[in-house]
């Protein structure tokens, strides 16, 4: 699969980071004759891991240019994808993902987590700008309410350390230490999205704490 919309994604990512959003994402295009099934979704998560690791190395190499920076440990994180459980979302759950405006915080309140990470966000244009950026991000991901769109949740049931979350599934464990920060209390995200009309397969991920 080829990574697509690279320039558009990078420009969008920079605007999200400037506003304080904590989500990372990648958009790929399967081949015309590719059968998109769970294994294909997992391949997108492999590509996402590679991007996260490359970004971490880029930051690391910038830091070590400073002779006062003492930590010379190269970045790495556990990514045991074979342990990840795929949970396809229902149409109602996909509908919850795309909602904006008035929202409640919850397992699938994507806009709420997009707009309110632990340190908050700053949108110069206020709520309107936040909604517009969220819509643009969703469109880039192919996250739309239409027949055939498939969304898989890869972190359903993870237990938060300091909060009681009723949706926690006994025995369901984190498959990457990337999620350690978010599991303290804020939460974690990892979704893959197949849009058959546009033939894009994307992934989003987030994990952070205060």
pLDDT digit string, tens, across residues 85-126: 999 999 999 999 998 866 556 668 899 999 999 988 999 889
Which of 184, 190, 189, 192 is closest to 209 using CA atoms?
184
pLDDT of residue 132: 95
pLDDT of residue 66: 76
Give 184's DSSP letter.
Answer: G
Range scoring the smallest mean pLDDT among 24-28, 54-58, 194-198, 201-205? 54-58
Which of 118, 192, 140, 202 is closest to 12 using CA atoms?
140
CA angle 184, 190, 195 (to 5 degrees): 160
Distance, in Å, from the CA atom of 178 to the CA atom of 76, rounded to the nearest integer, reads 9
| CA dihedral sign of residues 131, 142, 55, 172 | positive
- Paired sense of beta strands 188-195 and 200-207, if any: antiparallel
What's the structural domain count of the chain? 1
Domain membership of residue 128 as a residue range: 2-207
pLDDT of residue 75: 72
Q: Mean pLDDT of all residues in the chain?
A: 89
Q: What is the mean pLDDT of residues 6-27?
A: 92
Structure tokens at 93: 């759950």
Distance, in Å, from the CA atom of 55 to the CA atom of 51, rounded to the nearest integer, reads 6
pLDDT of residue 57: 66
Q: What is the mean pLDDT of residues 184-195?
A: 96
pLDDT of residue 42: 97
Q: In the chain, how long is the greatest CA-to-CA distance?
A: 55
């Amino acid at each position: 699969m080829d990574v697509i919309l690279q320039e558009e994604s990078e420009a969008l990512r920079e605007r999200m980071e400037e506003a304080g959003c904590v989500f990372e994402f990648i958009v790929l295009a399967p081949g015309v004759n590719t059968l998109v099934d769970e294994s294909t979704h997992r391949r997108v998560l492999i590509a996402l891991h590679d991007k996260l690791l490359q970004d971490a190395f880029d930051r690391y190499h910038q830091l070590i240019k400073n002779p006062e920076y003492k930590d010379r440990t190269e970045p790495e994180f556990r990514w045991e994808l074979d342990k990840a459980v795929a949970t396809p979302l229902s149409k109602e759950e996909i509908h919850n993902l795309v909602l904006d405006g008035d929202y409640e915080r919850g397992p699938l309140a994507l806009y709420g987590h997009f707009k309110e990470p632990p340190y908050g966000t700053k949108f110069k244009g206020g709520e309107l700008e936040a909604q517009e950026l969220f819509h643009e991000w969703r469109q880039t991901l192919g996250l739309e309410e239409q027949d055939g769109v498939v969304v898989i949740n890869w972190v359903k049931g993870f237990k938060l350390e300091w909060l009681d979350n009723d949706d926690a599934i006994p025995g369901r464990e984190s498959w990457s230490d990337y999620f350690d920060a978010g599991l303290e209390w804020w939460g974690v995200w990892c979704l893959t999205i197949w849009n058959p009309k546009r033939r894009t397969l994307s992934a989003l991920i987030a994990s952070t704490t205060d």
